[in-house]
């Protein structure tokens, strides 16, 4: 059973479990994986049943925490301005209202509160179990195009890495991306990962294929070869 009250807060986002019993989560994944990029890679999800199976395949998320998580955008408060005494009073009222709303939210179970948030993507930490896989988990992220270039991938990935460090004692991480994907490389740099060059990477997928990708790492205590790269 999915722990529906589990969540990780960041200033703008909340990270929580995907639940295959919720049609809204399945529909969101269909939308997320139906972008031009996923269609080109033949990784689009055709229907709810396919999305449900994808969510249920993240079996380690319920035990060890490894897998994909839903990223949702909290309700946003308009920026405050105070160009005059009148507007300052209005801003103070707006700030007080926002604080009161946040306090009221704390009394509502997360599984209910999250329904008012906007689902914008997924973030993951995957421990690959296939033959030849790297010997440390890798972080990933996928944000809807409308919400890209706003720092959400960085915020979500950094929060998930911190949670694994604090709650699971995880110290070694990888990040992989296409060598030409400057956006992904920027995210990995901003969350403190070190660029390690282009390598052949095995064991990321069940088909046994080899991909050529840019490697980033954090916390490794040995060479890349010692970690299967």
pLDDT in tens, 4-52: 789 999 999 999 999 999 999 999 999 999 877 777 766 789 899 999 9
Write down the H helix ranges in the chain: 23-32, 36-40, 48-56, 85-105, 110-113, 152-163, 182-190
Q: Is residue 91 part of a domain?
A: no
Where in the sequence is the domain holding 219, given as residue range(s)? 7-18+58-76+108-227
For the segment 131-190, what is each residue's pLDDT rounded down to a tens digit?
999 999 999 999 999 999 999 999 999 999 999 999 999 999 999 999 999 999 999 999
Specify if 44 maps to a domain: no
102: in domain: no
pTM above 0.75, yes or no: yes
Look-up: residue for tokens 């998580």? Answer: 69
pLDDT, residue 122, reads: 97
CATH of the domain at 173: 3.40.630.30
Asked if residue 124 belongs to a domain, the reply is yes
Contact 10/116 with Cβ under 8 angstroms?
no
Domain count, the chain: 1
Give the per-residue pLDDT at 44: 82
Residue with the bigger pLDDT between 75 and 192: it is 192
Q: Which residue has the tokens 């998320």?
A: 61
Backbone angles phi, psi at 135, to 5 degrees: -95, 35
Domain-embedded: residue 86: no
Mean pLDDT of 197-210: 90
Distance CA 149, CA 227 (A): 32
Whether residue 123 lies inside any domain: the answer is yes
Domain assignment present for 48: no
Q: Check residue 81 and give its pLDDT.
A: 44
pLDDT in tens, 91-140: 444 444 444 455 456 688 988 888 899 999 999 999 998 899 999 999 99
Q: Is residue 52 part of a domain?
A: no
């Amino acid at each position: 059973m999915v722990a529906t009250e589990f969540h990780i807060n960041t200033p703008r986002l909340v990270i929580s479990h995907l639940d295959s019993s919720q049609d809204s989560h399945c529909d969101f994944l269909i939308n997320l994986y139906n972008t031009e990029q996923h269609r080109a890679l033949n990784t689009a999800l055709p229907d709810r049943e396919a999305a449900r199976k994808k969510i249920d395949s993240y079996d380690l998320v319920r035990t060890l925490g490894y897998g994909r998580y839903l990223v949702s955008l909290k309700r946003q408060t308009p920026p405050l301005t105070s160009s005059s005494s009148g507007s300052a009073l209005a801003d103070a009222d707006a700030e007080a209202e926002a604080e009161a709303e946040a306090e009221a939210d704390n009394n509502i179970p997360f599984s209910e509160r999250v329904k008012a948030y906007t689902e914008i993507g997924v973030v993951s930490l995957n421990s690959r179990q296939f033959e030849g896989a790297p010997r440390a988990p890798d972080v990933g992220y996928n944000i809807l195009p409308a919400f890209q270039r706003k720092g959400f991938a960085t915020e979500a990935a950094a929060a998930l890495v911190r949670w694994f460090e604090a709650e699971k004692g995880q110290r070694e991480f990888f990040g992989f991306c296409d060598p030409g994907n400057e956006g992904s490389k920027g995210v990995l740099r901003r969350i403190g990962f070190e660029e390690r060059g282009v390598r052949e990477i095995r064991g990321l997928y069940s088909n046994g294929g080899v991909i050529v990708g840019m490697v980033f790492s954090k916390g490794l205590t040995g060479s890349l070869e010692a970690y299967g790269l």
